[in-house]
Structure 1
Amino acid sequence: MALGLRAKRAAALLHFLCLIWAVFALTQNLGLPKSVRKEQDNTYGGQWKHLTFLNQVLQAILYVLCVIIDGVALCLPSKDKTVSRTMVPIRDYIFSAFVFPVGLFVAVAFWSLYAYDRELVYPKELDNINPTWLNHSMHTTILPLLFIELFICAHKYPGRIKGILGLSFFALTYLTWILWVHHKSGIWAYPVLGVLSQCGMIVFFSVMFSVLITFYFLGEQLTKWLWARRRKKCT
């Protein structure tokens, strides 16, 4: 029982630290309290047209839920079952269907395109606007946060149809949104979209969607493998 309590406290502390970082990174991306990126912030759709920013919002929401669940379990044990029954399934679904696949996608897709030709995703001129640490907070540190969460919390994945439908809806909504932004303002959320033909864009989006779904399955399998091994060690 004592070991279980220590583990819960450790997980609660990590969740709290992850929340602090996620909120800090999110506010810095927004340019709060004072923005040094006025021109970029005022373009149509603002930061909301970037998947990187939406991913940071998802991570912040996840850690808010985690901290609430942990806090109730440790400080109000009489309310634990009631709160867990409601919030844990929401937390698990957000992590499995959105946070893990989208977060992994953002990191892998960004740095892959950056290595190929950074002008397609993060033009050099942005170095004079965004400090290097802010770039890494948006595209690098999100990765260890994912695996910390994967390791400290046994998320229950939904049925595959339910999980994939949720992720597909998110992807389709985001695609519709960035196409609308371009229609209304002529702005592409990412420079790579501006150099693709219509056919090339269809292929590009199809490949990106396939990668996103692959990352969903990867998160599911990693969760099963990791927690099956840990349960086996405990028996």
Structure 2
Amino acid sequence: MSVHPLQRLASPARSASLLLHAAGIASFAASFVYVKWFPQLPTGSVGGDFQFLTILGLALSLATFVVGLVADLSLTRQVFEAKNFLAVCVAPLEVLISVLYWGLCAIDRDLIYPPGLDLSLPLLPDVGFHLAPAVFLALDLLLFSPPWTIRGQEAMILSLCIAFFYWIWVEYCFSYNGYYPYPIFQILTTQQRIFLFASSAVLMTGSTVVLKRLYHLFNGIVKGTKIE
């Protein structure tokens, strides 16, 4: 099966590509098992732990790697292309989640975890939720994927759509539960929350651009191609 000239390693393939996708699936599944054992929000709340952007991102990462594994096992080009399509959406989101989480924790963990409640995670699960997905997806891009063709304007529209839908989802859950999954949402006014989501969309667009540039720094560029 032919691959893009810039793609560093064979994929789909029943070799290193399959091992990466299997390892990612194991990591993501372990995080979901942890959530099952130690739910972070009250039982019966609308949305449950899927109110967290982290959990939504983890579910999308799991879906992306399951599709990637199916492509490796079946050696089907169409399934491989579906994995790459998902990765364009999910990898920048996971980078955004990692940047926001570790950045806010460095400023004040009470912005992430409700004051007075011991919901902070041990180190290994913390890394599993808030760093491993970004690392796995970045490795999949750099080693086993063709270069992304998404342009900056398209990335911005995609990021705004994701931010908008998450905002609507959070407000919907709040209308039933009476609380937000992250204390920072409770602290901010409606206008400030809108600004936060819009800023997050800009950061997600930036993560798309950075991932594209890292790809070309690592794998090179096709002569005559302009990087956007």
Larger radius of gyration: 1
Match of 1:136 among 127, 130, 135: 127
**Distance in 2 of aligned mates of 1:133 and 1:69:** 29
TM-score by length of structure 2 reads 0.81
**Distance in 2 of aligned mates of 1:36 and 1:211:** 30
Match of 1:68 among 67, 70, 80: 70
Match of 1:176 among 168, 183, 200: 168
- Give SS of 1:40's match: coil
In structure 2, the residue matched to 1:153 is: 144
Which stretches in structure 1 are left out of the alignment for 5+ residues?
A: 74-82
**Distance in 2 of aligned mates of 1:6 and 1:166:** 26
Matched residue type, 1:101? P
Higher helix share: 1
**Distance in 1 of aligned mates of 2:61 and 2:172:** 25
Residue 28 of structure 2 is aligned to residue 22 of structure 1: yes
Between the two proteins, the alignment pairs up a number of residues equal to 215
Q: What aligned pairs does 1:119-134 form with structure 2 within 5 A after superposition?
A: 119-123=110-114, 125=116, 127=118, 130-134=121-125
Q: Answer yes or no: is the 8 Å Cα contact 1:25–1:138 preserved in 2.
A: yes
Matched residue type, 2:139? I
RMSD: 2.9
Using the TM superposition, give the Cα deviation of residue 220 of structure 1 relative to its aligned residue in structure 2, in angstroms.
2.2
Q: Answer yes or no: is the 8 Å Cα contact 1:12–1:71 preserved in 2.
A: yes
In structure 2, the residue matched to 1:114 is: 105
- Classify 1:100/1:170 alpha carbon distance in 2 versus 1 (closer, same or farther; 3 Å): same
% identity of equivalent residues:
20
Q: Which has the higher contact order (CA 8 A, sep 6+)?
A: 2
Q: What aligned pairs does 1:95-114 form with structure 2 within 5 A after superposition?
A: 95-96=87-88, 98-114=89-105
Q: Deviations over 1:168-191 (max 9, x none)?
A: 322211111101111222111210
Using the TM superposition, give the Cα deviation of residue 221 of structure 1 relative to its aligned residue in structure 2, in angstroms.
2.2
Residue 202 of structure 2 is aligned to residue 210 of structure 1: yes
